[in-house]
Homo-oligomer: A and B are copies of this chain.
Amino acid sequence: MPDTPRSSAPGLRADAARNRELLLTAAREAFAEHGLDVSMRQIAARASVSEPTLRRRFASKEDLVAEAFEDKIAQYADLALNALDQHDAGTALRQFLLQVMEMQLVDRGFADVLTTTFPPTMASEQHRRRSYQAVERLIAQAKDDGALRPDFVAEDLVMVLLAHAGVVAGGGHAAKAFSARLQVLLLQAIGLEPVGELPAAPSAGRVYHALMKLHDQMSTTSKPAR
């Protein structure tokens, strides 16, 4: 079978295109639940194909991730460009960050992809750069308006999204409550939001259970906790 680098390539047979889409769907689901650390082997198993079959379509995990998230990264870039058209740069940047953190919250894979770069020739990287340039301008405008702390730079967007991804990845059932508090804290910290009270915190008991991350991974043959 010839290599078919694009799902839209002319001449790609309909069943091959369908199979490719099934692989991408399996990959998107696995990434959304577990983040980008899922292995090619696990994705192949989820799609009920062998790993060599998966790798005939996507030679590397980087290829698979870039293509699985291409549409979402394009959406993200459009959000950034739309934010640039708003009248009030501070409010636009604030809304943009809240929207993006909401996208992180519902898709752990996308949360990681937002802080991942790709080789310059990939379409996903071109969307990412488009978004980056828009955010850079938005940040400059918000600073001009005095709506953002002056030492905040475009690279800090990555820091903010990495921090929020950490809460999404590790917070378990308390992730949503932690995310709501962290969003307010971070926006206040960078000057985008006036200092005010935080949303409700999760209870200690809820946090204890949410953070028992390794317990589900116990082998079925394991002895009871000592």
A61 within 8 Å of B (CB atoms): yes
Which among B63, B156, B164, B225 is the interface contact of A119 at CB below 8 angstroms?
B225
Interface string of A214-226 (1 = CB under 8 A from B): 1101110111011
How many residues from A make CB contacts under 8 Å with B?
67
The interface residues of chain B lying within 8 Å CB-to-CB of A163 are 163-164, 166-167, 182
Per-residue CB contact flags for chain A residues 135-175 toward chain B (1 = under 8 Å, else 0) read 00000000000000001111110110011111101110010
Q: Are A116 and B211 in contact (CB under 8 A)?
A: yes
Please state the number of chain copies in the assembly.
2
A:50-67 near B, CB below 8 Å? 55, 59-63, 65
Assembled-state Cα–Cα distance A217/B62 (Å): 7
Residue of B62, B166, B209 near A166 (CB, 8 A) is B166
Q: Which residues of B contact A201 (CB under 8 A)?
A: 153, 155-156
Q: How far is the CA of A207 from the CA of B115 in the complex (A)?
A: 9
In the complex, chain B residues whose CB is within 8 Å of the CB of A167: 159, 162-163, 166
Identify the stretch in A10-18, A76-84, A186-194 within 8 Å (CB) of chain B at 4 or more residues.
A186-194
Contact string, A172-188, partner B, CB cutoff 8 A, digits 1/0?
A: 00100010011001101
Let me know if A85 is at the binding interface, CB within 8 A.
no
Q: A22 an interface residue at 8 Å Cβ cutoff?
A: no
Q: In the assembled complex, how far is the CB of residue A88 from the closest CB belonging to chain B, in whole angstroms? A: 23
Say whether A156 contacts B181, CB under 8 Å: yes
Complex alpha-carbon distance, A65 and B211, angstroms: 14
- Contact: B186 with A185, CB < 8 Å? yes
CB contact between A226 and one of B5, B182, B208 (< 8 Å): that residue:
B5
Chain A: residues with CB nearer than 8 A to chain B? 3, 5, 36-37, 55, 59-63, 65, 112, 115-119, 121-122, 151-156, 158-159, 162-167, 169-171, 174, 178, 181-182, 185-186, 188-190, 197-198, 201-204, 207-209, 211-215, 217-219, 221-223, 225-226
The 6 closest A-B pairs by CB, nearest first: A166-B166, A119-B225, A59-B222, A163-B163, A189-B189, A60-B218
